[in-house]
Structure 1
Amino acid sequence: MSTELPAGESRDSGFTEHVVYPVRGGVADPSQNWADFYLPPGRHDEDSVPLVVFIHGGAWRSGATGARRIARDLTSRGVAVLNVEYRAVDRGGGWPVTFSDVADALDYVPELDRRHPEITVDDETVVGHSAGAQLAAWAGTRGDLEKGEIGADPRFTPTRVVSLSGPLDMRWSAEHGDDNVVRVLGGSPSQVPDRYAAVDPIQNINPRIPVVAVHGTDDSVVPVDDSRRYVSRLSAEGGRAKLVLLTGEDHVSYLKRSSPRYDRVLDIIHGVSTLSPEDLGRRLNGGTAHVAQGSASVTASPGA
């Protein structure tokens, strides 16, 4: 269903629609089960605008309003953006609600495509920051889930992933002091191993899904090793992946316009979402790219 535009948004800023998506097995919370849709201005042919699904971070708490600026800036580069909110761990979310919410938001994309046929939905990108990166990486593998598992039977599954400072090895994170992972899953790896097995990205590798993992070298919230371990595992299993290290950036600094690497990160997202599968595959060689101020983005060349 559609609602009024949120405060501070306008058609002129690229904002198109605010939706409350339905949730399985319950009633949606309009204050949390919503998503903003952004479409580049102007007229577009059917199936001509790539879609990026953006999932915010913040320790699996509310935060999609803070991602609206990023959504607008991506839209200005010519891609459509669905900015997703979900029930927070401290507001009725956690296991399994937060995860099923993200699945339900993604499964709303076919309905969005019906109303906005300009977007493409056959080979799309999901981007997440921090906790959202875990959700994004997991969302990219929903097609592998068996019936009855959380998020199974997807109506829409992204096929490209960009992880921004993501805890992509949740078991390792929990064992190294990440209390937020323990909180969202309702226990430690030894207490609820099945939950970790169900949604931990590194335990749900799909080598057919290309992944770019971006991480600040000075991140003290989610260690760089989280991304490094995931990229190494995905590459070892025959997948296409790359680790991009942002020199001197911390957990969130590179998502501020004041950062000299902010535009580079948007370039990475744009490149992943618009390159052909062949070109993207050539660039994701399992290596590591170091991005300092003024250096090339991961999509500039295979060895960038």
Structure 2
Amino acid sequence: MTTLSYGPDPIQFAELTTPQGTPKGVVVYFHGGFWRAQYDVSLGRPIAAALAAHGWATLNVEYRRNELGGGFPQTFDDVDAAFALLAGTGLEHGVVVAMGHSAGGHLAAWAASRRQQPSESPWSNPAVAATHLITLGAVLDFADAVADGMGEGAVELFMGGAVDERYDLADPARYVPLAVPVWCVHGTADDIVPFSQSEKFVASSVSAGGVAQLVPVEGDHFVVIDVDSASWVTTLEILGTIA
């Protein structure tokens, strides 16, 4: 594992894990935790190790969270800069899968939307773009999350206020259908991020002509990041169809 810095803040780093031999591609992974400070990059380390065992390089990204200088636009700058770490490594060529759990799934989906954002967006011309998206129990629709009071106001806290024009740049649901293939893996018994977040995102994507698949799995919010679970086998099978 190699630690790479993408900014001056000690939190602005990512851990690159590579497999033996030539990688099948690279997964850029974002951990969850409703963007809150108490959840960190350690959540992604089992994922990175499991992916390396199956031939994938993984960039496990830490980012500024609430209480630690994060929010809008800082966390979004971090996501964009973390992808740019791949430039010149050779890993940016071919398959670049954005993946994340819960709030990290939001960041992964947002990263996959960058090239579809308006030209005035500071993130619309990324140095390295995602070619595929896999979300794991993800927050994908900010409007519904706010209406549902998800995470005791987690979205509003992250965004620094109620719904306004900034949400147009922050919410991946505004860019459906994404211009990359999408798989939304979600536990049917998830009581933290409702299954409907993935269900609606995929339905809207397909209705708009996008390539998207809902992948329901048995279990709760955390089964999707349990690398010893049947759910994780499903995620590996998805990756097997990509490369």
Determine if the TM-score, normalized by the shorter chain, exceeds 0.5.
yes
d(CA) in 1 for partners of 2:30, 2:93: 17
In the other structure, the counterpart of 1:208 is: 179
Select the residue among 128, 138, 156 that pairs with 2:128: 156
- Whether 1:100 and 2:100 are equivalent positions in the alignment is no
**CA 1:155–1:180 in 2, change beyond 3 Å: closer, same or farther?**
same
- Given that 2:177 and 2:209 are in contact with CA atoms closer than 8 Å, whether structure 1 keeps it comes out as no
TM-superposed CA distance for 1:272, in Å, is 5.0
TM-superposed CA distance for 1:196, in Å, is 1.5
- Whether 1:21 and 2:26 are equivalent positions in the alignment is no
Q: Where does 1:82-231 land on structure 2 (aligned, <5 Å)?
A: 82-111=59-88, 113=89, 117=90, 119-178=91-150, 179-189=153-163, 193-231=164-202
Question: Which has the greater radius of gyration?
Answer: 1
- Given that 2:185 and 2:224 are in contact with CA atoms closer than 8 Å, whether structure 1 keeps it comes out as no
Partner amino acid for 1:167? V
Q: Percent identity between the aligned chains?
A: 33
- Given that 1:162 and 1:211 are in contact with CA atoms closer than 8 Å, whether structure 2 keeps it comes out as yes
CA shift digits 1:97-122 (9 cap, x unpaired): 111111111122104x1xxx3x3523
In the other structure, the counterpart of 1:293 is: none
**CA 1:97–1:53 in 2, change beyond 3 Å: closer, same or farther?**
same
TM-superposed CA distance for 1:157, in Å, is 0.7
Q: Please, which runs of 5 or more residues in structure 2 have no aligned partner? A: none
- Whether 1:57 and 2:29 are equivalent positions in the alignment is no
Select the residue among 40, 51, 55 that pairs with 1:74: 51
Q: What is the CA RMSD across the aligned residues, in angstroms?
A: 1.7
SS where residue 165 of structure 2 aligns? helix
- Given that 1:207 and 1:237 are in contact with CA atoms closer than 8 Å, whether structure 2 keeps it comes out as no
d(CA) in 2 for partners of 1:262, 1:95: 31
Q: Please, which runs of 5 or more residues in structure 1 have no aligned partner? A: 1-14, 23-27, 275-304
**CA 1:160–1:244 in 2, change beyond 3 Å: closer, same or farther?**
same
SS where residue 73 of structure 1 aligns? helix
For normalisation by structure 1, the TM-score amounts to: 0.74
Greater RCO, 1 or 2 (C-alpha within 8 Å, sep 6+): 2
For normalisation by structure 2, the TM-score amounts to: 0.92
TM-superposed CA distance for 1:167, in Å, is 1.2
